Structure 1
């Protein structure tokens, strides 16, 4: 065996195919010179990344070269690592009218090379096109996405990058709408009429069950003459309390009222109006007293008795006629 050496050869099927050659596959010598018999390992240089190779070996002695071995399994010339796997499904938080925060978990496998950054893509639900959010990779697993369109709905996905390149995109996030982190308040309860007079009516109401996530800063009050279809704003002033007196009304006119709560998001829906109410004094004329009885008769006088009116309105005196 001292006089034995080995020759290593390689085959590049892909190379022939790319050149579209019709000749049979050609084996090429993988080294220069001869290899001593004690060498059982060889680093084959000069391969082309992305090409697939096979190898076979033959031994040589004084009698000449023996038969080649069976070819090795085909192997692709590539770096000793792959692109990362997909990151976890993105989560979305801190939603505002034009911004959202997107966060995710790293992929389970970095492909054998450390992750150098992430790319985030967004998609408006009215479109099928994914748009890259960041042109340069971010190292953190969170990104504040800006310049969104208010009231538009979005999905997000994330890809990781390493030395081998950019890996597959994650599962898309759920759908989220770009809007302020609060809504308009709910509807207040139907107002109560608490006082009626010739030219003013007082009302009170309960706040809505929900303030929409933002404190109520004002109440809008509107009135409507029952002969009209137009609601008119009662005051331009800020109303914080849940009661208000509407003044400068017309005696004898019948009105309806409604109330809406306001917060940072704007005015909420108006309440249902109470029963229409007519402007008039807070009392009516008394009802008729009971039928008089003549209890005593004389030549020049009679004594009359009667019962008071059934209504409880206060009155000062009676008028008696005969």
Structure 2
């Protein structure tokens, strides 16, 4: 019996050894064949089964030796062996290759996605730049192709105002009546506003007499603004034609209303030459159309020495005996009609006059007189549009008495600023002035001569009283007659500098109080600051006004001034000295405007815009220059300074 059990035990050990050897062989074969994950999982299964068989043999032997262990304990041990074998499995072979290929594909996909996003962003930026460039090239300010036209209607009829607007980007439109914006929501059913592809219209339903008035539309975009006007006249059936006389109106209706037959076009006359604008009408002007008006830049013109107006039954003329740069601008002729007016406009550019010496500057313009007093005044002007071949050194001021042609120089050295005080003038006389610009090449043509200016005391009216009496009579009493008897005058007071420039100082003071009845003259004394030596500043020059220009001062030094009053009885004591005064600093040139942008308006014109200079009170305007691309030959566009930013 014992022998049989020993044989059985040896056979079981032999079977277990063979099974273990088979498991090792199958595992090595699996590694060499690079099986898939499923095959690897299947290859893991036989060892577990074998382990289970081994465990079963072990359990049988344990049952023979000890029957105390239960079947649950065997299951737990088998489960632990299973988990241990699963934890020992690793990836290799085909699984590793597939993992690397998947990682490579994912990396390539991510790189391609990133590149596509970057390329898409670059493409969008370039497309936006191209779009902005196209919009900038096609940008145009708001304007009217067809403006509003006046209408005359009967009561309880509808009227429709229409106009054609262009501009890029598309402009916004607002309608107004007598300057008040029209809001259809306030009066429902009365107004109807439409915009169909640039055709703007305003329809007024069932008109009444209150609807008569001036209607306007204002269109604007980022590049400009424009306004068109039209009158609407609502007639009553009772015979009142909007203020027109009932008897005269039908007669006027029978006359043929004149229109423009031949008009003037944009022109380019040369400075100092004679020139005229003419306009021919389609028929003789009726009486109600004979009030022809001329405008320059929207301002009505009047006849003068420099401007003449002539008119016949079928034509009108505007004559310039001598054209100057001040005459440059937009000219408009207007004729009245039964329903409003008709007008035509064109721009006149004034070219520089021919010069004897090449490279000299152009002539100054807009010479004006300010602060006129008994014996002095201030002149101001605008610089010329062209400096010539070199920079402008300064300006010379000339004067002559009205009615003569004897021009005298007012300053010994060039004035660098466009402003100059002219003194030593005779009270009661009339003067005219002109200005020349000078550079290293020579002197320019003189500017346009000012109108005659009479030297009077501006405070004279304040010293005169008019007392009304009965029977429409008056008595005029001057302040001088009310002054107390004064022999030797009192000294003036409040001596100070009203203006300081790099070449002169303007002194001001107050008259002595009481002033006395006798006329006063003044003596001005100067002294270096800190010195007690006084010398006369107005040598042999009588000063009749409480203001004097001192020009012979040294740069970098300070001066004190005092003033004495003089009449026929004697000379007063000197006033208190002024505070130390020195010449002003040389004004720095203005910086150039920024953000200059030009865009095409029509086939032959362009619009230029720029940013105005900030904190530049001395800026009188802007000059625009142009040149062909690839060249440096800059030419003046406007000979008259532009005060706007376009």
Q: Same fold (TM over 0.5)?
A: no
Choose between structure 1 and 2: higher helix proportion.
Answer: 2
Q: TM-score, normalised by structure 1?
A: 0.36
Q: TM-score, normalised by structure 2?
A: 0.18
Greater gyration radius: 2
